[in-house]
Homo-oligomer: A and B are copies of this chain.
Amino acid sequence: MADRRRSWWGWGWEDQALTEEQTAKLASSLSGRFGIALEPRPAPTLDAAALAAPRVELPPPLAALASVDPHDRAGHAYGRSYRDVVRACAGSFPNPPDAVVRPTTEADVVAVLDWASDAGVAVLPYGGGSSVVGGVEYRGEGGFGAWVSLDLTRLDRVMEIDRTSRAARIQAGALGPVLEDQLRPHDLTLRHFPQSFEFSTLGGWLATRSGGHYATVYTHIDDMVESMRVVTPAGISESRRLPGSGAGPSPDRLFLGSEGAFGVITEAWMRLQDRPRFKASAGVRFHDYAAGVEAVRALSQAALFPTNCRLLDATEASMSAGVTDGRSVLIVGFESADHPVDAWMARALECCRDHGGEVPETVDQGRGGAVGAWRNAFLRAPYTRDALIRMSMVVETFETACTWDRFPSMHAAVIAAATDAIEAVCGFGLVTCRFTHVYPDGPAPYFSVFAPGRAGSEVAMWDEIKAAVSEVLEREGATITHHHAVGRDHDPWYRRQRPELHGRALAATKRALDPAGILNPGVIAPL
C-alpha cells in the first residue's frame, strides 16, 4: 500500500484507473454500440489545475499537521460524485481547501476546532472523501474567507475489542479495509460494505447514515452503533456503551446523519459480527417486473431477513447481469455464522415461485459465479465511470426509498422523468433501477443514468436531469436520499422534506454545539 496513491481527480487508487488502452477499448466498444464517436480526452494533469495560493496559515504546532501540497488540496477539494470528477477533470478548482489538516490525536482535533472557531475558518470533516453529494466541498456558506479539510484518516486504530459482546471501539478515521484488517485476527467483522468501502471511513459512514451490503435489518450503519465520541467546538460528547436504551431521545441519533455539522466523530463502539460460514445465493428471473416487485414485497414482509435482495429491472439486468432477454432478475441471498440457511432460502424461493419467478435448480453456496462477478463489477464501476467521464458521458446514480403502496407510481414517474430529461438534455440514453435495500414497508430503489454528454456542459446536463428526478421524488413522497446523504447537492429537496420545526431544532442544536458555525457550514443545519 505504501506505493499507492489516491487519485486527486477520480475514484480510488491512481494505479487502479483504467489504462489508456482499456479506456480506448471502452470508447470504441461504446461508440459501436451507440453509434456515436466517443473520443477520450487525456487524463487531467495537476499542473493544469492552477490552485490559488492558500489564504490562511495554521499556527504551530497545528501547522505540522497541515499540508498545502497541490495533490492534497486538489484531492480534497471535492468528493467523488459525477459532477466532482467532471470538474476535477476539467481542472476547475475555484475554491480548494486552504489546507488539508491531518490530526493524529483527538487533542489535535480539539485544537483545530478551537483555532478555527477563533480564527473564523470553516472546517469540513473529511473521511475517505467519497461523498457524492457535495458533502466535503465548501461553497462559501456563512461567508468564511478560508477553509480547511480535516482529514481524519490518521485516526484509524481499533482501540479495544470486547469479544463477549462482539463489539469494538474504533477510531472514526479508519477506512473500511483498515478496520476490517484489525478485526480479522479476532475473528470478527463489522460487515458494513458500501460500494465505497475502500475509500470511506467509519466516521464518514456514521456522519452520513451509510447503507451497507445487508439488504435487510442492518441496512444503515445507525443500528450497529453502541456509542459515539464526538468532538464539538463546545466540548466532547461521549455516549454510554449500551445494547439498547430508552433513556430519553437517543444521543447517538443526533449525530448520525449530522454530516459533520455538529461535531467531529472521533471514535465509536460498534457492534460486530462473526464471519459467515454458511452462504446461499440465487438469481430468480421474472418476465414481469411488477411480479418481481410483489415477490420482493412478500419476501420483505416474511421476516426471513435475507442479506441480499436485489431486484434488477430488465435494463439493469442486461447492463450488469448479462440477462438480455428482457427479464428482471432478483438476486436473493442469505448468510449466517451460526446455522445452515437452507430453510430460509427454501422459503424465499417458494415466495418467488408463488409470484411467478423462475427459480434456478441449484443454489450458489459462495462467492463464485454470477454473484462474485457482480460484486467485482460493482467495485470496479466507479473507475469505469471516470473513464467514461473522459468521453463526456453522463454517468451517475441516485437513490431513494418509499412505501410499497407508492412504489409503482413513483418508479414509473421517475423512469419517465429521467427518460424525458435524458432525451431533452442528451438526445438519448438509459436509466436503470435496482433495489439495494428492502423493508417490510417499502424498497430503497437505486437508479443509474447513462447517456452521452457534451464536453464542457456535463455538469449542467446532469444537474438538469437530477433536478427533474428530484422533483419527482419530492412530489411522490419519497426521500431525497436513502443512504447517499444530503450534503450540498440534496439540500434544496432536503429542506422541503424535513419538517420545518425539525430544521429549527437542528439550528438550535448547531448554535449550542458549534457557536461560531465553522463546521461544514450550510450542511444539514439551516444557517
Contact = CB atoms under 8 A, between A and B. Distances in A.
Interface of A: 162, 164-167, 208-211, 217, 219-220, 226, 230, 232, 234-251, 253-259, 262, 271, 274, 297, 301-305, 336-339, 342-344, 347, 401-405, 437, 439-444, 477-486, 490, 494, 497-502, 504-509, 511-513, 524
With a 10 A CB-CB cut-off, give which of A242, A246, A301, A437 has the most chain B CB atoms: A246
A287 to B, nearest CB: 22
Contact of A304 (B241, B338, B508, B509): B338
Contacts of A336: 302-303
B524 A513 contact: no
Contacts of A274: 301
A136 to B, nearest CB: 16
Contacts of A259: 248
Contact of A246 (B208, B234, B250, B477): B208
B338 A479 contact: no
Contacts of A482: 244-246
Contacts of A507: 512
Contacts of A484: 246
B440 A166 contact: yes
Contacts of A242: 401-403, 442, 478-479
B441 A166 contact: yes
A260 to B, nearest CB: 12
8 contacts: A165-B442, A167-B441, A237-B500, A242-B479, A247-B494, A248-B494, A305-B305, A508-B508
B481 A165 contact: no
A505 B261 CA distance: 13
A154 B413 CA distance: 40
A245 B480 CA distance: 8
A525 to B, nearest CB: 9
The 3 A-B pairs at the shortest CB distance, nearest first, are namely A243-B442, A343-B343, A243-B439
Given A237-B502, A246-B483, 13 more contacts: A164-B405, A166-B301, A220-B246, A237-B501, A238-B499, A240-B497, A241-B403, A243-B444, A245-B401, A245-B481, A251-B499, A254-B502, A302-B338
B504 A243 contact: no
A226 B509 CA distance: 24
A477 B162 CA distance: 15
A407 B285 CA distance: 48
B245 A249 contact: no
A235 B502 CA distance: 11
A167 B513 CA distance: 37
Nearest to A438: B243
Contacts of A230: 501
Contact of A255 (B244, B249, B485, B508): B249
Contacts of A437: 244
B255 A481 contact: no
Contacts of A444: 243-244
A404 B164 contact: yes
* Most chain B Cβ neighbours within 10 Å, of A165, A256, A437, A481: A165
Contacts of A248: 257-259, 486, 494, 498, 506, 524
Contacts of A301: 166, 274, 338
A509 B513 contact: no
Nearest to A209: B246
Contact of A243 (B238, B240, B401): B401
A342 B211 CA distance: 32
A256 to B, nearest CB: 6
A247 B480 contact: yes
A501 B443 CA distance: 36
Given A165-B405, A246-B257, A248-B486, A511 B508 contact: yes
A339 B343 CA distance: 10
A239 B112 CA distance: 36
Contacts of A505: 254, 262, 508-509, 512-513
B250 A257 contact: yes
Nearest to A300: B243
Contacts of A239: 499, 502
A255 B502 CA distance: 10
B247 A479 contact: yes
Contacts of A234: 501, 504
Given A220-B246, A244-B444, A303-B338, A235 B501 contact: yes
